Amino acid sequence: VLTTSPLAADVTLPGWQSDYEAALETARQEKKPILATVSAVWCGACRQMQQLTLNDVQVARLVETRFIGLVID
């Protein structure tokens, strides 16, 4: 069982969702796999990953094209 905390709603990454149920429904409709990233507000490495990788325009395009991106906090 995957759950997301209210803090995950604060994550704004292009092409990524923070609601598991919505991501699952979108994945079913679009017939795409879910690509999940797990992070924590207090985790410095997680923040760095979000800033340097997940916010990258090319990464966002790839995720949006091939996956349903899900951020789990």
Model pTM score: 0.74
Q: Which stretches does DSSP call E strand in 1-67?
A: 16-17, 34-38
Looking at residue 12, its pLDDT comes to: 64
pLDDT tens, 31-42? 999 999 998 889
Residues 6+ apart with CB under 8 A from 67: 32, 33, 34, 35
Closest by CA to 46, choosing from 16, 19, 72, is: 72
Q: What is the pLDDT of residues 35-65, one digit of tens each?
A: 999 988 899 998 899 888 888 889 888 888 9
What is the pLDDT averaged over residues 25-32? 96
More confident residue, 6 or 24: 24
